[in-house]
Amino acid sequence: MLSFASTRLAPACLALLAAISLNAQQTPATPGPAQLGPNAPAHIAPAQLLQIPMLDHGLTLADFPNMEPAPALHGKLAHVAELSQNQPFDTKPASERTEVWLGRTHTALFAVFICYDSRPNLMRAHLARRENIDQDDFVSLLVDPFQDRRRGILFEVNPLGVQADANWAENNDPDFSYDQIWDSSARRTPKGWIALMAIPFRSIRSRSAAPDWGIVLGRNLPRLSEQDYWPHISQQISGTLSQEGTAHGLEGATSHNLQINPYALAHRIRELNDDDPLKPYFSKRNFAGTAGGDIKAIVKNSIVLDGTVNPDFSQVESDQPQFRVNQRFAVYYPELRPFFLENSSYFDTPITLLYTRTVIHPEFGARATGKINHTNLGFLTIDDRAPGEFVAQDDPLNGKRALTTVIRLSQDIGKQSSVGVTYAQRILNGRPNRVGGIDFNAYLNKHWTANGMWVESSTHQQDGTYSAGPANRLGLYRTGRSFNLNLRYRDFSQGYQADAGFTTIPQVRQSSSNASYSWYPNKHGIQSFQLQPQFNIAFDRGGNRVFHYNENDIVLTLPHNGLIVPFFGNNSDTLSPTNYPELAHHTNFTENYTGALIRLAPIPQFNTRITYVHGATVNYNPAGAGIPELLHEDQIRGYLTLQPTGPLTIDNTYLLDRTTAAHNDPLLAANPRIANPVASPRSTATQLAPGTVFHAGDLAYESQTLRTKINYQFTRSFSLRAIVQYDSVLANPLVTTLVRTKQVSSQVLFTWLPHPGTAVYVGYNNALENLDRGLCYRSLTGQCDPNNTDVPYSPQYLATGRELFVKASYLLRF
């Protein structure tokens, strides 16, 4: 049974809820001009109100010869004649003039952007895949159909008409997994460029009887590092939708519809199956086929019901590389699969109770998201076949499925404040993990916001034991043009567990803060100068320090989206005898470091970001009976994007993590278990003489990743994408238990995507690893050695996975 009485921050919760209530009571109820909607702010300047006129027919670019409306349209369109800067110089007029003309029909909203440019030859525009226009010039339309100033829909178009759309949740990054059907077109002119958006009302969830929507118009000029908006969106005020304008005259915009999106897949697969390490084998499926699909229904224009049967994600590209070797805490991988991404903001909470990467191979799922008056609803249930697939046949979990269910309700209060409740459950083999709690988000004033959450978990472990415990988190945030501040505290108890969620560091009390103060000299090419200190400290349940991290950044912002960030810091990790029995007591390791980040985009064809760090780290995987020790570390993160021609984009990633001994260490003399090691299955270790010294500067391990992604866009619908990635770990068996590995993976995907939901994919995936073709070490009986079940290392590569597939889907809308 869940209980929230044990949380320590209940008094703070009551105080903040009282502040929310007081804020709501103090909001004036005086209606604004033009009979604005019930959620509109009390006072809106006339310049922030647009009357959207009804048109006899839709608009096209042909209606705007010479970048002006045709005479037949004079007086028939809403007009915005001036945008102002948000970046880099808040409140200043836009560097280049932009005009926007808007109108509507009974079925769609139209927006035409007239973008003047004094230097059109420097414009950035590429024929790219849908959504991949963030480095280009583009215009944007952000609408808030419920006018609740919390969620919206973002539409973007670049000068070649390439689209991007996203779900917008205030104070979160836009979710570009959102895909809707809408029309766009654009053309370049000697004076700049012009773009048209035609957005069907059936593609937008809204209140059909309400005449008002929130609206924000924008333009991005990357060569100037500039973002312009109407109405003015100030950096001194928290949020974007909190400053939105009002579009009047949009009553009757209905989105009621039904969508069915079936797919069919044919593929040929050969892959290594080592779920049972004593019986590894290659499984094959020759020309196997499968089918499935999604269904979507819109109820009362505001509730979205989604269902999926046997979803397939063959076309989803591989994860962006991260440092994964010798990590003390869990690594977070962003979700890339469309079904899980859509409307995911409805499940966002201060403590992550839904981390969909825990669901690997679902067969069915259902979701409901939306809004009823001031109440937000999120419901998700989905199964996962993976727990019973990737285990040996005699494992108790073989053939078992996990079922994940999450329910979330939140209530809007006052101006951008809310309270919510969330329940998450994951059941595997009849043993449930349940987590439930309450949360709040408080808009205190234009600068200050706060959020918090209190949850408690109940877990029946697979070994028959039971655990339970609370967790809580509290945050206070200030947003301003010059001064920003984030303060956060979280407390995860010994028994807290969230199997459907994500917990980076369990069982700790953790405080963190980061602040920034900016100056805007606008001299010598420097647009802004910022100091940014960061502090993070955590203690375990016994009051022992777990870590102490401190970093100080100096941020210089330059034109052309340039950035130079020198930084230095002092990290300290404390390891306990509980995790490392060889330690006699809690031991602290101090890791000073320095480094710099440089981001440059001097020309439209070139964009790079490089980070270098020199310092120290702890060997969390010591060999044999060795104890953790301090290592010198050098890290490089390099990203380079080349766009030599409009249709061609080449993204390159390079990661290097190299560590060496910090001092001479007679390691083997003190540890006889290492002096005569058993050869590591993927290393070249041999027996070594006692007394061998691990010298300062000797390699401990080196991890490298090189990834190249090439995309050629034949048209807005046709594209060819290829990804090649090389990963290697070179490990010293005297120092670490990390194994030596080399992997090469490749993906080739041909895509025809006329609009979201309707597509044809033809793809090929291949994986190579440096594994011996024998697949296991053999004992004298010829069987796999039960004492050494790893696949042995080989200097040659073995193909461990190959797939050729053809997938087709078609979207039906009713």
Q: pLDDT tens-digit profile of 54-88?
A: 999 999 999 999 899 999 998 899 999 989 999 88
Task: Tabulate helix, strand, coil % of the chain (nearest 5).
Answer: 10, 50, 40
Nearest to 532 by CA among 511, 513, 558: 513
- More confident call, 281 vs 710: 710
Share of the chain above pLDDT 90, in %: 54
**CA distances for 373 relative to 187, 302, 675, 739, 768, angstroms:** 41, 9, 71, 56, 54
Average pLDDT over residues 738-764: 92
The pLDDT tens digits for 715-750 are: 999 999 999 999 999 998 888 888 888 999 999 999
- Judged against a pLDDT cut of 60, whether residue 27 lies above it is answered with no
Average pLDDT over residues 243-257: 81
**pLDDT at 603 (0 to 100):** 85
**pLDDT at 47 (0 to 100):** 56
**pLDDT at 481 (0 to 100):** 86
- Judged against a pLDDT cut of 50, whether residue 682 lies above it is answered with no
The answer to whether the CB of 809 falls within 8 A of the CB of 759 is yes
The pLDDT tens digits for 600-616 are: 988 888 899 999 999 99
**pLDDT at 77 (0 to 100):** 94
Lowest-confidence region among 12-26, 307-321, 693-707 = 12-26
- Judged against a pLDDT cut of 80, whether residue 707 lies above it is answered with yes
CA angle 60, 63, 65 (to 5 degrees): 125
**pLDDT at 146 (0 to 100):** 86
- Judged against a pLDDT cut of 60, whether residue 668 lies above it is answered with no
Strands 245-248 and 49-51, sheet pairing: parallel
Strands (E), 500-605: 508-519, 528-540, 545-558, 562-575, 587-600
- Tell me the residue length of the chain: 814
The answer to whether the CB of 449 falls within 8 A of the CB of 238 is yes
The mean pLDDT of the chain is: 85
The answer to whether the CB of 253 falls within 8 A of the CB of 52 is no
